[in-house]
Every structure is written in structure tokens, then in C-alpha cells.
Amino acid sequence: MGEFVRLEVKDGIGTIRLERPPMNALNVQVQEELRAAAAAATADAEVRAVIVYGGEKVFAAGADIKEMADMSYVDMVARAPEISSSLGAIAAIPKPVVAAITGYALGGGCELALACDWRIVAEDAKLGQPEIKLGIIPGAGGTQRLARLVGPARAKDLIMTGRMVDAAEALRIGLVDQVVPAAAVYDAAVAYLKPFLTGPVQALRAAKLAVDSGLDMDLNSGLAWETQLFAALFATDDRREGMAAFVEKRKPDFTGR
């Protein structure tokens, strides 16, 4: 696919692999290649779930500061929405998505991890939003997704101090979902996704859409949205198969239709 980002598909799992040594810095090219990889993973029916992975040494250590250093306000007004939407494309993949994190996930790298549904990290991983130390704030979802995940007080602590957290603290505050030895990170992500590979594709899509979109609505609007998605699933073959299997006391054979 791209020079620095590629989509690898195996056994129903699409791995969006970053490979821009030494630290997988998210320059403009990487951002756009992430967008393309997200679109490809969305469109490929063989991909039932997705892993975002930076390799055995590092997830992504942030944006390419050298590329940004000479940009003006006018330059960034034009570019900032594209930075945010490139990671938003990962969040919008209508399939289960896990970030498999080794080494550092900082700045834009942390924001990329936040765009995933879950985060599995190495025991020695470090995460954080250090942008404040550069005189800026996170600009690709960090202030919004982080606050929704860990709460506003903890998000302000991490964003306003710029400090890094280790894997143990990240797990304690709900920033990550599982901590494993570094060598086991990718395999743990595969194991996490396996239950989804034979699941009802449309129901999984609806569940993700209901939660993610509902967070931006008031309760009554969210409930109405949930009801609409719930009812729509009664048009699917998988709903019929799931209920028939329940009545007949057998395992369902979902087809994704």
C-alpha cells in the first residue's frame, strides 16, 4: 500500500502496520497513508477486525515536529483538520479495532491509539500527550477522546503536565485495556479479536456506531438512535440465524449478511 503504512490481511484480521523508522513519526505522508489504510480495511469484506501496530519496538512517538516547526498559523489552519480527520478515519472503521502498543505512544501516537476501540500495551510501554511542552495542545483528538475515556480531570492532568504514564498507571486509569509482556503484544491483540471474526458483522458495526455516536448525543437522542439501529438489524440474515440457533440450541453460523 503506502511507503510507511500498509494493510496486511490474514485470517480475517487486517493489520495496519506503521513502519517509518526510527520512531514512526506521523508526518503528512504517514497521516494520509493511515487514511488510505483505514479506507481499505473498511472496504475489504475479508477484514473482520483490525489491529493498528507499530512493530516490536515502538508504536508511534508523535507528529513530525521538524515538519511542523516552520509552519505558520495560516499553514496550520489549513492542515489541522486533515491531521485530525486522518486519525478520525481509523476511529470510523466500522469493525472492531485494537491498538497493539510497544515502546512509546506519545502525542499523535497516543491520539492514534485513542482512535482505536481498545488498547493492548507492553509492560514497558509509555503513553502520553506531551504537546504542552512544545507550547501547543493535542490537535488530533487528544483533548476529546482522552477526556471521554479517562474523565476530564485525568485528561487535564496528562495534557496540561505533558507527563508520560507507564503501562500500570495507564491500566489503572482506564487508558489501556490489557498489559502483556512486550513480546506478546501482537499475539494478544490477535487473541482479543478472535471472538469477533465469526460474529455477526452488521450487529458488531451497529454496536460500535451506537456507542461512538451516542456519546455525542443527549440521553434521549442516544436512546432513539439505539432503537433505530436495533430495529434495523431485524432485516439481516444474521439476526434470523442467531435467533434460530438460540431456539434450536445450537451454535449460530453467521455469514455477515
Residues that are catalytic? 63, 108, 111, 131
Which pLDDT score is estimated for 74?
95
Looking at 165, 182, 197, the residue that finishes a domain is: 197
Q: Are both 156 and 43 inside the same structural domain?
A: yes
Nine-digit cell string for 84: 485530525
Residues 136 and 118 in one domain: yes
> Are 63 and 181 contained in the same domain?
yes
CA distance to 34, 46, 106, 167, per residue, from 27 (Å): 11, 29, 14, 26
Q: How many domains does the chain have?
A: 2
Q: Is residue 190, in this structure, part of any structural domain at all?
A: yes
Residue 222: inside a domain: yes
Question: What is this structure's pTM?
Answer: 0.95
Contact predicate 59/108, CB 8 Å? no
CATH code of the domain in which 238 resides: 1.10.12.10
* CA gap 32, 11 in Å, rounded: 26
237 and 170 in one domain?
Answer: no
User: What pLDDT does 68 receive?
Assistant: 87
**Predicted pLDDT of residue 169:** 98
Q: Looking at the domain assignment, is residue 206 inside a domain? A: yes
155 and 40 within one domain:
yes
Residue 28: give its domain's CATH number: 3.90.226.10
Element (H, E) at 127: strand 126-128
Whether 53 and 162 map to the same domain: the answer is yes
Query: Is 252 inside any structural domain?
Result: no
CB 134 within 8 A of CB 156: no
Q: Tell me, yes or no, whether 253 lies in a domain.
A: no
| One domain, residues 130 and 142 | yes
Instruction: Note the pLDDT of residue 67.
Output: 87
DSSP letter assigned to residue 42:
H
Same domain, 162 and 37: yes
Do 104 and 126 meet the contact criterion of CB atoms below 8 Å apart? Answer: yes
Do 136 and 183 sit in the same domain of this protein?
yes
pLDDT tens string for the chain (257 positions)? 799 999 999 999 999 999 999 999 999 999 999 999 999 999 999 999 999 999 999 999 888 888 888 899 999 999 999 999 999 999 999 999 999 999 999 999 999 999 999 999 999 999 999 999 999 999 999 999 999 999 999 999 999 999 999 999 999 999 999 999 999 999 999 999 999 999 999 999 999 999 999 999 999 999 999 999 999 999 999 999 999 999 999 999 999 99
Residue 121's CB is within 10 A of a number of other CB atoms, namely 30
Is residue 257 a part of any domain in this protein? Answer: no
Supply the pLDDT for residue 148. Answer: 96
Residue 212 within any structural domain of the chain: yes
Q: Is residue 238 part of a domain?
A: yes
Give residue 26's domain range: 5-197
- Residues 115 and 33 placed together within one structural domain of the fold: yes
pLDDT value, residue 249:
96
3-state secondary structure of 3: coil
210 and 225 in contact (C-beta within 8 Å)? yes
Asked if residue 215 and residue 171 are part of one domain, the reply reads no
Return the H-helix or E-strand segment holding 78. Answer: helix 73-91
- CA angle (63 as vertex; 57, 64 as ends), nearest 5: 95
Q: What is the DSSP letter of 8?
A: E
The reply to whether 133 and 229 lie within a common domain is: no
